[in-house]
Structure formats: C-alpha cells, structure tokens
Structure 1
Amino acid sequence: MALPDLDRAVGWSFGLEIDGIQVKEIQEISGLKMEQDVIELKHNSSADGKYVNKKMPGRAKAGEFTVTRGLSDDSSFEKLIKDARLGNMGSARKNGAVVVYDYQGAAIKRYKITALWAKSLEIGSLKAGGTDVLTEKLTLTYETMEVE
C-alpha cells in the first residue's frame, strides 16, 4: 500500500553533496534557510490622505548551515576550512545540495546551494571519562539556495 503524500519525507533520511561528492556519516544538518529582505514603503494615500505602510519583497539573503558528523579519518572538512582560511577562495567556493529521501531511498527534494564555503570547524568536547561520540561541526556559508 502506498503511503500518503504527507508521509513521504522523514527527518532521518538525508544527504549532502559537495561538488558532486557525497559527504558520508552525517548526523545532522541544521540552519538551512531561504530568506529575503523586506522593503517598507511608507506614504500617504492620494485619495484620503491616510498613512499607508506597504511591505514588498527585497533581495534574497545569503545564509549558512551547520553539518555535524562523528569524528573520522575523513579530512574533507579540514580541507574545506583550510582553503577558506588561506584565502584560496577559487578552490574554497563549492556548489552542493542537501537531498531529502523518502522511505524507499528516492530523492524527493533537493536544496541546491551555490558558492558555499567553510566558515568554521568546531570539534566536540574532549572530556576525560566521557562516553559521548566525538563530533565535528562544520558551518558553511552560501550565497544562494534554490529548491529543486
């Protein structure tokens, strides 16, 4: 029996691609957001002289999101942040996509992200006696995001 349309997307079935390469072992992606400026037009109406406040859509805003994964020997996060820190923006800027999958593993939504680069890399807490998995969080900033 087919699932209703509203049951197709699940929060645990997603992926991240950067320049066509699948980033593995991701635990969480947070902060994805499409936003734009709001332009306020304030004027008096000509008919009765009353004050009118009108809001209109402005320019799209750039954004950022965070990718969390367990610490591993994969050095892709370190390479991304190193290129940006050294100012090699030609190689630091990448294109990518966050892909959401349905229960059967078919892609149902792609958030295409352009001109992303690594803003920060945070390593989880190192704590003697701790039992938590050590994680790394990469914050990526981007210029545009489109839904495909």
Structure 2
Amino acid sequence: MALPDLDTVVAHSFGLEVDGITIKQISEVSGLKMEQDVIELRQNTGDGKYVVKKLPGRPRAGEVTLVRGLTADQSFEKWAKEARFGRMTSARKGGAIIVYDFENNPIKRYKLTNAWPKSLEISTMKAGDTSVLTETLVVTYEQLEVE
C-alpha cells in the first residue's frame, strides 16, 4: 500500500540502481539536487522604467555522494576503475536513487543520466576502533530527473 497523500516519507530506506542492479545497503545520500543557470535580462519598458527579468538558463550537471558500510561487494570499486582508466563508454551509466516507503515499495526515483564515479574513499582505519568502516562514492551526473 502506498503512502497516503498527507504522509511524508521517513528517510531510512533508499538505494542506488545502476544497470538494473540495485544496491540497498546505502546508508547516506547527499548532494542530490536539480539546478540551472539564471539569465538576467536588463531592459527598459515602453514608459522608460528600468527592469530586470530573470529567465531560466541551461541546466547544470551535479554530483551526489553515496555512503555505505564496507562489504565484500565490489560494485563501487569496479565502476570507479572503469572511469579511472578512461573507459568512459562503459563508465557512463544511467541509474537512479530510489526512495522506498515503510513497506519497501519504491515511491520516488531520482534518475541520473550519464553518471560516473568521480572518487571513492574508504573511511579512516584505526587500531582498536569499533566504528563501522564505510566507503564513500562521489558520482557526477549530467542530468537529474524526478520520476
């Protein structure tokens, strides 16, 4: 059952889908935004008043940061390796960030076009520390659409 119209989503269940493979173990997503340039048109009106109009410009590309607990799964590493060695034909992928409701049904998709990994970082490893090791993948994309 989908959420009623007035219920909001709790941000605890989401995942990344790339090439039909869904990774649901993502613990944090940040930087997901749609943005475009603003064009300022300065002109005089017919009665001589000076006005500034703001018009929509070109859409901007963006970056999204994904964090997950370190596991034996090597999907992040394999994808980053494609971009690192310049194999952009296979590194550029279509994908989506998917938000799930409390019954694990997808309720919103943020579709990424021509996405590829910019960086992959492993959290600090410290002897005696009991915190979870994480890997942080920064993905750059050319376009974001909300479905």
Give the TM-score taking structure 1 as reference length.
Answer: 0.93
Q: After TM superposition, give the deviation of residue 6 of structure 1 in Å.
A: 2.9
Helix, strand or coil for the counterpart of 2:6?
helix
Gaps of 5+ in 1: none
Which structure 2 residues correspond to residues 59-138 of structure 1 after superposition, within 5 A?
59-138=58-137
- Percent identity among equivalent residues? 64
Helix, strand or coil for the counterpart of 2:11?
coil
Gaps of 5+ in 2: none
Partner residue of 2:27? 27
Contact 1:8 1:103 in 2 (8 A): no
Query: Whole-Å Cα distance in 1 between the matches of residues 17 and 86 of structure 2?
Result: 23
Contact 2:98 2:108 in 1 (8 A): yes
Helix, strand or coil for the counterpart of 1:6?
coil
Partner residue of 1:39? 39
Q: Structure 1 residues 132, 20: CA separation in 2 closer, same or farther (over 3 Å shift)?
A: same
Partner residue of 2:51? 52
| Equivalent position amino acid for 1:29 in 2 | V
Q: Which stretch shifts more, 30-39 or 4-13?
A: 4-13
| Equivalent position amino acid for 1:124 in 2 | S
Could you list the structure 1 runs, at least 4 aligned residues long, displaced by more than 3 angstroms after superposition: none
Contact 2:3 2:101 in 1 (8 A): no
Query: Whole-Å Cα distance in 1 between the matches of residues 89 and 15 of structure 2?
Result: 25
Per-residue deviation, residues 96-122 of structure 1 (Å, max 9, x unmatched): 011111122221111111100000001
Q: Cα RMSD between the aligned structures?
A: 1.4
Query: Whole-Å Cα distance in 1 between the matches of residues 100 and 3 of structure 2?
Result: 14
Per-residue deviation, residues 21-44 of structure 1 (Å, max 9, x unmatched): 012421111110001110000112
Contact 1:80 1:118 in 2 (8 A): yes
